[in-house]
Chains A and B, each alone.
Chain A
């Protein structure tokens, strides 16, 4: 990829003005996208991103310079531009690269060996099935994405780490219309593997599922508003953990006192049934990384154990500010971002509760079967997320589907209000946006129940 001599010179130049740590990140990422509208290929695109970033730390201060040009002269220029932001005398030299980590394994079916015909064939099956589901389905769009990211992280502490991160994903979006109203349904599975992952995917079932969701919502009344018990189904339901809790456990927020969970290590922040994990090591998962973007191996981090806060998610800068060990959680979208603490595969660990009982004994409330995205303000803990497919529950029985539901609340409140965690956990992929850009993360959980959440919607009582 690049000579060690050049990297060493770059890291040394970056330390000229008193930095105590320097790091070079180089990226070569290839990506293919195909989109289909109305059963026809609408667009196909190839993208290659190449560039490098040099970061210098001095205590808790951080400086970053990046460039699309990865020639020796450009890298040295970036190192000098970064060093120029500090104004001290040289204090240390980069160490020899004694810690080598290479995770450059070629996937079973690398994306570079796949042609457009194979990509398109996947989408065609899904679109056909969605169209066939109901005459109310008026449009189906589908997308295919593959990414092969190759990175090198070399640090002045003597780490030389290389990682290859293939990932692929498809999405199917169905639109159902009647009487001037439109509703949508969507599915979007993906894994951190090569093209071989799609061999196990039933595209026809995915197409039908997207269509079923859109048609179901088309015949649903508006969701009533109120503060009610909510059962959230497994899989992407774990977005509640992601938004309501774990963003507020990232060093990005915690290190500078901007999280509602600051200073709470060892304290009870959730009800007894709650154990939450962020695990970057799970083979082939969407959020998996072999080494993080500071060159440290990823690891399994138990964040909450039986309701007690055990760990934050911490990068190098965070560890300096918080006096907390690094957790292999430094991530970035690419070379245009400096790394910071981020999630990987984040989930509520399976519990012991019966999935049917939690519905049966909830009285009146909401069953959130499929979640959409959300966001959180870590300072206040205020979160929101949308529900793609929801059902109103009366007397412990599903009464009818409801559309347009949103859940809002405060992370700390909701964690204490979880009273059931089911036995069967699974995960779903998403893209998470934060200070270091958009990174692939999995969210997951078994079915859970929360005693009360504010449900937003524009409907009246049912």
Chain B
């Protein structure tokens, strides 16, 4: 069955069975990825995906049912209605009606016209470039290229009909470097037309691997810390659920009720900008028009992130942050392009300002060593020891520990080097950030 036919049958069945409204969230797309090893194609994958999530509203309650085969609209409606009847939460969750969206600039990426063959050639070139960078590179553990496109359509019985397209291309390399019996890997990626920057990507990946050679722990204690941009972006991403109004309303965020209060140092501004070029979008997962806003401005919490349900409860308009963690997930709250606004100082200036302390280039185990409810973290980290404003040696096998809110209050300076991590449904970015003190454990 085609989508439009499925939609008509599903909507008809929903209304006939007494639903107040019904909505379909439909995603279809294709993807390609390839890995090369020793100048040969090592693995290759292509896909055609689709998924359809039905949401019905029955006596003010939402129920969901998801399928990947478009064969039985009435049965799906009954599943969703059964789920709606189970809901006990009394909060109203409205659906978005028909509306207009801001036009996005047309995507102009040279890579969109490249063939699979050309992309695989780029991966081969990347592998060669990585190997040629440095005699300490033993081999390239992973070298890959990929691309994908997807079309999202949200339609409901209130007249909403939103359609958006996303495309992405990426490449990455993981070299293995060795010296003095120690082995380390590095990682660098490029997105969209960045994948033509083969040398830049190779240099960065190798630099990240060799910089760790000679690493050793430092004695446990309090250290001044300079988080490199990507590491800080990873931390911000991991703690971003604290900014969800849904978490706050359920008593699962320490930022609940803190709007208007200082929650960070005055040099900290965090933006949620759906129109940022890293991954622009015009509407959220509920079809609500997206808006750009500061979440933290000059250290003050300006707003939490809302969808239609949390906004109704708070008595304010949605901030356009309805999100779904995948097509099969229910509507929750998610950031769009969420990043710490850059300052003016370059990385070297921040290193000089750090004086004596640690540069953290990588944090591991963010899914486990970090708790968004308590706001606390204790993470495996690696980086460089800095003495008198100069990096003197690599540091490994340490942990950095603290709480996210005291970290944000302890920010002394924000760098100019804003960088985004690999894009997903939300994109997270940060410049490098100098923090007054964190607990470090080592040997």
Contact = CB atoms under 8 A, between A and B. Distances in A.
Determine if chain A interacts with chain B: yes
Interface of A: 34, 37-38, 40-51, 60-70, 74, 78, 81-82, 85, 115-117, 120, 138-139, 141, 175, 177, 180-184, 222-223, 225-227, 256-258, 336, 338, 372-375, 377, 379-380, 382-386, 403-406, 408-410, 454-459
Interface residues of B, number: 73
A68 B441 contact: no
Given A379-B185, A409-B397, A45 B89 contact: no
B277 to A, nearest CB: 29
A406 B379 contact: yes
Given A37-B250, A456-B399, A338 B45 contact: yes
B250 A454 contact: no
Interface string B46-64: 1111110000000000111
Contacts of B47: 65-67, 336
Contacts of B50: 68-69
6 contacts: A64-B45, A66-B49, A141-B250, A404-B401, A406-B369, A458-B401
Contacts of A45: 64-66, 83, 328, 330
Contact of B439 (A51, A386, A458): A458
Contacts of A38: 89, 250
B242 to A, nearest CB: 11
B441 A384 contact: no
Given A405-B378, A457-B441, 13 more contacts: A42-B88, A44-B86, A66-B47, A116-B85, A180-B254, A338-B43, A338-B45, A373-B367, A379-B176, A382-B397, A384-B399, A454-B217, A454-B399
A457 B379 contact: no
B118 interface: no
Contact of B441 (A115, A139, A177, A456): A456
Contact of A47 (B66, B220, B399, B401): B66
Given A175-B251, A256-B141, A384-B365, A44 B63 contact: yes
Nearest to A257: B139
Contact of B40 (A61, A64, A403): A61
A117 B371 CA distance: 32
Contacts of B371: 184
A44 B378 CA distance: 34
B141 A225 contact: no
B364 interface: yes
Contacts of A456: 369, 378-380, 398-401, 441
A47 B66 CA distance: 5
Contacts of B63: 44
Contacts of A410: 397
Interface in B197-250: 217, 220, 250
Interface in B353-393: 364-365, 367-371, 373-376, 378-380
B338 to A, nearest CB: 22
Nearest to B85: A116
Nearest to A63: B44
Contact of A116 (B49, B83, B398): B83
B185 A375 contact: no
Given A48-B69, A68-B51, A454 B184 contact: no
Nearest to B40: A61
Contacts of A181: 374
Contacts of B368: 372-375, 384-386
Contacts of B43: 61-64, 338
A50 B69 contact: yes
Contacts of B80: 46
Contacts of A182: 254, 373-375
A375 B87 CA distance: 36
Nearest to A253: B141
Contact of B251 (A64, A138, A256): A138
A46 B365 contact: no
A226 B218 CA distance: 11
Interface string B396-429: 1111111000000000000000000000000000
Contacts of B84: 44
Contact of A385 (B49, B62, B365, B443): B365
Contact of A404 (B67, B88, B185, B378): B378
A404 B402 CA distance: 9
Contacts of A49: 68, 328
B365 A375 contact: yes
Given A454-B399, A458-B401, A41 B88 contact: yes
Nearest to B375: A182
Contacts of A403: 374, 376
Contacts of A62: 42-44
B89 A37 contact: yes
B46 A82 contact: yes
B82 interface: yes
A156 to B, nearest CB: 18
A117 B88 CA distance: 12
Contacts of B369: 372, 374, 384-386, 406, 456
A70 B67 CA distance: 13
B373 A175 contact: yes
Contacts of A74: 48
A457 B378 contact: yes
Nearest to B63: A44
B79 interface: yes
B382 to A, nearest CB: 8
A409 B380 CA distance: 9
A40 B67 contact: no
A383 B380 CA distance: 8
A183 B376 CA distance: 9
A377 B51 CA distance: 33
B37 interface: yes
Contacts of B328: 45, 47, 49
A406 B399 contact: yes
A379 B368 CA distance: 20
Nearest to A456: B399
- Residue of A60, A67, A183, A336 with most chain B CB atoms under a 10 A cut-off: A67
A37 B65 CA distance: 20
A222 to B, nearest CB: 8
A182 B374 CA distance: 5
A41 B86 contact: yes
B252 interface: yes
Nearest to B376: A404
A68 B401 contact: no
Contacts of B364: 375, 377, 382, 384
B365 A41 contact: no
B158 interface: no
Contacts of A67: 47-49
B13 interface: no
B251 A380 contact: no
A226 B69 contact: no
Contacts of A374: 365, 368-369
B41 interface: yes
A382 B68 contact: no
A45 B41 CA distance: 41
Given A63-B44, A382-B364, A406-B380, A41 B402 contact: no
A46 B66 contact: yes
B442 interface: yes
Contact of B86 (A51, A81, A116, A377): A116
The 8 closest A-B pairs by CB, nearest first: A456-B399, A225-B441, A373-B368, A384-B380, A44-B83, A458-B439, A40-B88, A458-B401
B350 interface: no
B440 interface: yes
A44 B64 contact: yes
Contacts of A116: 82-83, 85-86
A65 B250 contact: no
B37 A256 contact: yes
B271 interface: no
B111 interface: no
- Residue of B367, B373, B396 with most chain A CB atoms under a 10 A cut-off: B373
Interface in B86-131: 86-90
